[in-house]
Amino acid sequence: MWLDELSAQRSQVDPDADDPFAPPDPRVGTIYLIHLRKRMGHAQHYCGFTTDLKRRIKTHKAGGVHAARLLAAAKDAGITWSVVATWTGTREDERRMKRNNDLARTCPKCREKVLRRKAAQQRRVYAARKAAEECVPVST
């Protein structure tokens, strides 16, 4: 008896929760990350959302007004690019990724370089701090 109550409760929250034949959630699609072989100004990545990745990539490759502005400009500049990562998600997830503004660290092609650069910077800061400490005159 309580099982019926439980499933009734659950179907109020999400009617398709247990239905494998439920239609796919139209809000869910593919988030994709594009890495440009060369920087366009400050940008080297483009992140987008689509429900039809193949078609969207074709549109981006064609350039012009239907492509993302960055990718259209890259095409005009002769800069090639490739999709380096995809995730299943919603437009909100895509916006969150763009807001975080850390696409280079998400990019498999750039992640290692970014982390190496950060480590080198930390080592420099540490060395400078240590050198400064060693130069402090010892009062006697």
State the nearest-atom distance from the C-beta of 61 to Zn ion, in Å. 18
Contacting residue, 31, 35, 40, 48, with Zn ion by CB under 5 A: 35
Q: How far is CA 103 from CA 37, 98, 110, 118, in A?
A: 14, 7, 9, 15
Give SS3 for 94. Answer: helix
Q: How many CB atoms within 10 Å of residue 5?
A: 9
Residue placing its CB nearer to Zn ion in the complex, 69 or 105: 105
Which parts of 69-88 interact with Zn ion (CB under 5 A)? none
**Span near Zn ion by CB under 5 A; candidates 30-38, 73-81, 88-96, 130-138:** 30-38
Task: Answer yes or no whether residue 107 interacts with Zn ion by CB under 5 A.
Answer: yes
Contacting residue, 68, 72, 79, 110, with Zn ion by CB under 5 A: 110
Distance (Å, whole) CA 130 – CA 134: 6
State the nearest-atom distance from the C-beta of 82 to Zn ion, in Å. 10
Distance (Å, whole) CA 103 – CA 56: 19
**Which residues contact Zn ion by CB under 5 A?**
35, 107, 109-110
